[in-house]
Structure 1
Amino acid sequence: MRAARWTAFGLGLASAATAAAVLLSTAAPEPVAPPSARQILLAAATSVAKQPADGSWWGNKLVRGARFHDPTGRYVIQTATAEETWIPVGEMTEPHWIVQRYLGAKPATPEDEAAWRAAGSPRSWTYKTVNPNDLAGNPFDVEAAPGEPESFESRDVDWRLLSTGKTLDAMDELPATPEGLRALLAPSGDVDLLLENLQSLIAYIPVSSEVRAAAYRLMASLPGVIARGAVTDQLGRTGQAVEYRRPHPRRAGHHVRVRLIVDQVTGEPLSVETLTDDTGELQSFVAVEESVWTDREPDFPNPYRD
């Protein structure tokens, strides 16, 4: 009988230990800290370095958007324009082609739509004040209806290196190291200039995967870049975002926030957004709909074909 008692007692201890283990295993896991800006950018560098970047043409399909109040100041309008750029790989001095189409204007948010309907649902707006996208300050009109596509040829290649004052004649002139990019893009050490050049190089310029990865790594080392976690861009895509402040382009002494959103799987850039510095409201955006390398020549008139 004594042995039986010990056996029963031992089984009880075992059951209690099992129950404790089950309780421990079902307890809530420790919260995982969100990735830092450095971790986001270094992960993007690792992923994007694996992406192919070969072909005779590079195409970049963007959607550019802006937000501003209607002339009465009662609601916010969002405009959008699709822009497609095709550049022949090789000598950068060759002409490239741009196709643009105005996608129209609409109230920016559901709240703005309610105010727009209360104002009679206008389909056009006339501004007699400064165009927020026109440094000359000319009066302008905004139409709700989309426009027809337009294509034109451009020989302007200076934009490829932005405000460095240098012209890029061939893609292999760009260094594929953070140190080399720093010396090229901001030799004066200006961090604001360097950040602007890096985000443009990452999002808009036909570079090799190694150069884009180096740009991410250099941005990861710069001060003032912070993480914003997972966000959804204006095309409905979710990615990891980093953000930095830069001087306002038209208001001395003021700043805006620039947010770079990257695909957390491929490392490819999704969007660049400009936000107000105080409230974080969206002012403008450039969404990268697609960047492609192809051997097929784009299908539009090209007087420079052989």
Structure 2
Amino acid sequence: MRYPIAAVAVLITAGVVAVPAQAAPAEGAYWRVEVVRTADHPRPVGSGYTVTQRSVSVDWQTPGGKAWSAYRELGARPKTAKDEAAWKADGSPTSWTYRTEGMKISLSTEPGKGRVGPVKGRPAGKFRMGEKWVTYAQLQALPTEPETLRARVVADVRAWIDAAAEEAKTTDPSAKKEDWLAHLDRYVAEHMTHLLYENPVPFKVRSAAYQALKTTKGVSDLGQAKDPLNRSGQKVALPVYERKSSVLKEQFIVDTKTMTLLARYVDLQDGGKQLAGKSGVETYKVGWTDDKPAVPAAG
């Protein structure tokens, strides 16, 4: 449930330790992660105004490793008062259609029907963490001390870098491992944010991940802030990621009472110009629930 930013399409793995005799009990039937994404459409529509698109995705996972996912478009709206005036001058259309690169693109002001269904191709009883499949018991056994967790993640990120660098050489002989190592702190910080929402890890693991995140080199503590849903949390900024002409800036708001993610802000620029559609904000609702998987509400 992340933006499709090719420059940082990084899957890093968390380490696991020996499975304990008994894992901590779940606090509900499903670990649920809801993400509402808001972003500008990547090109003007109608007479040349900008619209903002919203969508929602939800994932459910049981302690036994079964999973469901859902998705729904929430509709497009003019971005600013100026855009709204241009939209009204166009006759207040409720849909837009155009073609680009041989593809037909359709937008609507109305929410889509949405869909929900089981996740296929998933090993029985397993959870995806980076490039590994682990059990619920292994999730519960992740380190709860910040520096121990950091050491585990750093070791696994370095192992990933070794493999990625070797694979890159098959298509680019000039590829160097140092290109990845230059962003080691960034990768470690990004992984810590995944531990704050992605899988049903214990509160103490999330707390350790947050503490490790805050003290990772290049991470900035921006103080108390409110997300788009008016929820309060602590805001942090990850190290800036630069590659050729692309610059990625990410900020997160964390609920320090539950140690779960509230919001993620993305600013991706290329050649100094922000890339609409790949920049935007996500709001998160994370936690245990007994509510069964269903198509997300249209609101």
State whether structure 2 residue 234 is matched by structure 1 residue 261.
no
**Aligned residue pair count:** 235
- CA shift in 2, pair 1:279/1:253, >3 Å: closer
The residue number in structure 1 matching 2:92 is 121
The sequence identity of aligned pairs, in percent, is: 28
Letter in 1 for 2:45: P
Task: Describe how 1:132-281 pairs up with structure 2 within 5 A.
Answer: 138-156=103-121, 160-162=128-130, 165-170=131-136, 171-172=139-140, 174-176=142-144, 177-187=149-159, 188=161, 190-247=184-241, 252-263=244-255, 265-276=257-268
Candidates 58, 76, 84, aligned match of 2:50: 76
* Residues 193 and 261 in structure 2, CA contact (< 8 A), matched pair in contact too: no
Secondary structure of 2:100's counterpart equals coil
SS at match of 1:120: coil
- Confirm or deny: 8 A CA contact 1:161 1:197 kept in the other structure: no
Q: State the 4+ residue runs in structure 1 displaced beyond 6 angstroms.
A: 279-282
Deviations 1:201-257 (A, max 9, x none): 223332211221121122112222223344443334343321124547xx8531121
- Residue segments in structure 1 that go unaligned for 5+ positions in a row: 1-51, 131-136, 302-306
Query: Which amino acid in structure 2 is aligned with residue 61 of structure 1?
Result: E
Change (3 A) 1:139 1:236: farther
2:78/2:84 contact within 8 Å kept:
yes
SS in 2 for 1:207: coil
DSSP 3-state at the match of 1:202:
coil
Q: Which has the larger radius of gyration?
A: 1
Amino acid at match of 1:285: V
Assess, with a 3 A threshold, how the Cα gap between structure 1 residues 264 and 119 changes in structure 2: closer, same or farther.
farther
Task: Please give the alpha-carbon distance, in whole angstroms, between the structure 2 residues aligned to 1:181 and 1:213.
Answer: 15
Q: Does the Cα contact within 8 Å between 1:245 and 1:255 map onto a contact in 2?
A: no
**Contact 1:55–1:89 (CA under 8 A) maintained in structure 2:** no
**Change in 2 beyond 3 A, CA 1:254/1:179:** same
- Cα distance change, pair 148–72 in 1 and its aligned pair in 2 (3 A): closer
> By how many angstroms is 1:138 displaced?
4.2
Match of 1:293 in 2: 288
Residues 263 and 74 of structure 1: is their aligned pair in 2 closer, same or farther, counting only changes over 3 Å? farther
Which residue of structure 2 aligns with residue 3 of structure 1? Answer: none
Are the equivalent residues in 2 in contact too, given 1:241–1:260 (CA < 8 A)?
A: yes
